[in-house]
Amino acid sequence: MAIKQLNSQEVQPDINYILNNNDIKTDLFSDGLTNVLSWQPRVAAAVSLLCKNNNTHYRSRFMLLKASESELFFDLLKQSVKASLTSTTLGYSYYFSENKITLTQARSKQDNFAVQDNCLTATVVDIEKLFGCVRQPENSPIKLQAGLVHQANGGVLILGLRSLLAQPIVWTKLKQMVMSQTFEWFSADDSHPLPLSIPAMPLDLRIILVGDRLSLAELQEFEPEFYSSSIYAEFESELKITESAQINDWMNYLQFISRKLALSTIEKTAFAKIYKHATRYTGDQYYLPLSIEWIQSLLLNSSYFVQNENIDELAVSKALEQKAWRENYLTERFHDEFFTNQIMIDTKSQVVGQINGLSVIEYPGYPKAIGEPTRLSCLVHFGDGELIDIERKTDLAGNIHSKGMMIMQAFVMSEFAINHQLPFSTSLVFEQSYSEIDGDSASLAGLCALISALSNQPIDQQLAVTGSVDQFGHVQSIGGVNEKIEGFFAVCQHQGLTGQQGVIIPASNQRHLSLSDEVIDAINNNKFSIWAVEHVADALYLLTGIPFKDENKISLYKLIHARMQSMLVQERKHDSWFGRWKKIAKSNNTQ
């Protein structure tokens, strides 16, 4: 068996490592870490390639960047790009003489179409903001208004992709002008052509299109050839931690963002608190977030509670507590359903064929997932061998859930070497579930409930189970493990902690644990337990106290096998009696 009871340190990241390790420092804001791309080598390489001075006609002038379209990120990216650019020309100027317009080189930045900066950004654009316009007020001379393409001519323009995709005409014209390296004036309204001819302007522009994966996928479908010829890079949203130097890099990153937000320095004690919260956000103890929006929100909220000059542990703790309280209304209302027994969850008894599974609910528009304990029940009765998944029969199950149920059935058929039709049928259901469910994270719980029903051995309701299984019974990792554990803990705490309650999770999910202080305190006080298992046999032993297989003593396998043989014998007796009755009936009819 591979059963492991996790201690309090194993269910959270090692924050003491930060506090006590002298190699971890928080004042290393140096070593050339002057812009956001210092932590993004792939993006930096792509920007360097885009900004090369080699001005050949066929070189790529577009870069696709998978990243968030936030104002702060655009400002930080702009600073990084400017560091890669050389000085640009002053641009151009239009000169008006009677009914004629001529184009000349700009002599100063005050000229009407002079370049304003070698890198400009815009998360949202329209046709006038991007290309400028021609204005002719009544009884007044014509006026030309510059757009972003003119103001950044010779440099780089960073644009939000979502806004461009919503305006196909704007995107098409931008692509055409950048690739042809010429800006042609046009009228936004076809019914009102330009009042006079305006000379075209040479255009030397490179474009960085920033968008999420959905926007990039839409562009790829719309422009497959363009997509394949552009420079592509991804802003890495997480930093993998394998050594202490990388923790230093991450801390420097947070200090960098804090300085760009004009906030205070972050103290070392605050980093320990942030580190735990960060691993919960990423869902992995070995990955830390680089998401600028997440860091910005955390630091800004913490700055409101600063009592001295720096952001300390107290400020971060208060910010996190306030955030949790503001967002917790729906979670509290959801838990009330369990606390008032509107949704029934047993955390103290022992019941045959019933188990506490765990799932996660995500409501549209709600910022976090909610862990939901779920009661699964299984009944065995005479039948034709069908495993009746009531959720699937009622069209309340998704495809992945159905796949998990089929894997359960395959395990039972294989494990007991059944070469004939089963003498019984089983029915499995999620009790008090009234909406569609999906996912395979309840397949371990469902298999344990099925084996309990087959062996007629009760399951300890003080334990809840989450995990998926394969056809060989190996337990596989699932998502939302922290929310699931905390959801069951809340119910146990309300009903009264017995010291025997806990949650069984896949061993491979241990690295994803970052539990709340309340749960950790209960583990420290031996009021709650987390068990890590690798096989369904491990979970069954914890749930029933009986090994799944054991040649020397009673086991679940032997109990199930004996019951199946008993059912087969009864079935043969029934068939024999029914056959004799048919013979007698046939003989009477003949006479």
Closest among 508, 434, 500 to 478, alpha carbons compared: 508
SS3 string, 409-455, reads HHHHHHHCCCCCCCCEEEEEEECCCCCCECCCCCHHHHHHHHHHHHH
Burial class (CB within 10 angstroms; exposed 0-12, middle 13-18, buried 19+) of 14? middle
Please state, in angstroms and rounded to a whole number, the distance separating the CA atoms of residues 426 and 450. Answer: 8
Please state, in angstroms and rounded to a whole number, the distance separating the CA atoms of residues 206 and 156. Answer: 5
Q: Please say if 484 is a catalytic residue.
A: yes
- Rounded to the nearest 10°, the torsion over CA 65, 66, 72, 74 is 20
Please state, in angstroms and rounded to a whole number, the distance separating the CA atoms of residues 36 and 235. Answer: 10
Query: DSSP alpha helices (H): ranges in 458-555?
Result: 481-495, 517-524, 536-544
User: Which tokens go with 452?
Assistant: 């309990």
Closest among 149, 7, 137 to 92, alpha carbons compared: 149
**Helices 399-415 and 443-455 meet at what angle, rounded to 10?**
40
Residue 55, CA atoms < 13 Å, CB-side half-sphere: 9
Q: Checking DSSP bridges between strand 424-430 and strand 463-465, what pairing results, if any?
A: unpaired
What is the number of helices (H) and of strands (E) in the chain?
21, 26
Q: Match 């066929």 to its residue by tokens.
A: 58
Q: Checking DSSP bridges between strand 387-389 and strand 463-465, what pairing results, if any?
A: unpaired
Select which of 80, 291, 441, 555 is catalytic. 441
- Rounded to the nearest 10°, the torsion over CA 9, 14, 16, 17 is 140
Helical (H) or strand (E) element with 313 = helix 313-327
Q: Which residues of 550-566 are buried (b: 16+ CB within 10 A; e: fewer)?
A: eeeeebbbbbbeebbee
CA 233 to the chain's CA centroid? 20
Please say whether the beta carbons of 264 and 302 come within 8 A. Answer: no
Other beta carbons less than 10 A from residue 110's beta carbon: 8
Q: List beta partners, residue 183.
A: 201
Closest among 469, 588, 479 to 539, alpha carbons compared: 469
Please say whether the beta carbons of 519 and 528 come within 8 A. Answer: yes
Closest among 146, 217, 222 to 183, alpha carbons compared: 146
Select which of 66, 276, 484, 527 is catalytic. 484
Please state, in angstroms and rounded to a whole number, the distance separating the CA atoms of residues 241 and 249. Answer: 10
Residue 346, CA atoms < 13 Å, CB-side half-sphere: 14
Closest among 402, 424, 428 to 413, alpha carbons compared: 424
Catalytic residue positions? 441, 484
